[in-house]
């Protein structure tokens, strides 16, 4: 399975996971010159920018470890562009990370959901 296909499957799984928990989807794969945000969701009255990391092996570290400070800065800058384009968004916001385990592609699962990683 190719990396892009695996990433898309991971995002689909993360989206379904979040929808089951009452989140609603605002946008998906929003990108600009600063970077990309996988999922932009609403959780109650909070705007949530979600980074999804899918790993099929632990060889390069865990999915959560792959979300670096640099990546978080990119998400924050990209979120600022998104908020300028779309108006009437919730004022409260946060960044979440959803880690997907794909060691066995037929049994992919959400391994972790870290809420408000930028604190």
pLDDT tens digits, one per residue of 98-116: 999 876 656 788 889 999 9
pLDDT in tens, 20-45: 999 999 999 999 999 999 999 999 99
* Side-chain-side CA neighbours of residue 94 (13 Å): 13
35: left (phi over 0), alpha (psi -120 to 50) or beta: left
Above pLDDT 70, what percent of the chain?
A: 90
Complete domains list, the chain, with CATH: 3-114 (3.40.1350.10)
Phi, psi of 10 (to 5 degrees): -60, -45
Where are the alpha helices (H) located in the chain, listed in sequence order? Answer: 3-20, 69-85
pTM assigned to the model: 0.90
């Amino acid at each position: 399975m190719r990396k892009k296909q695996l990433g898309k499957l991971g995002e689909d799984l993360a989206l379904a996971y979040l929808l089951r928990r009452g989140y609603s989807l605002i946008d998906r794969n929003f990108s600009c010159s600063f970077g990309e945000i996988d999922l932009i969701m609403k959780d109650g009255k909070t705007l949530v920018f979600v980074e999804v990391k899918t790993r099929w092996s632990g060889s390069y570290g865990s999915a959560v470890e792959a979300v670096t400070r640099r990546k978080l800065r990119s998400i924050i800058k990209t979120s600022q562009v998104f908020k300028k384009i779309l108006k009437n968004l919730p004022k409260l916001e946060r960044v979440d990370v959803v880690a997907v385990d794909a060691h066995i592609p037929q049994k992919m699962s959400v391994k972790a959901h870290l809420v408000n990683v930028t604190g």
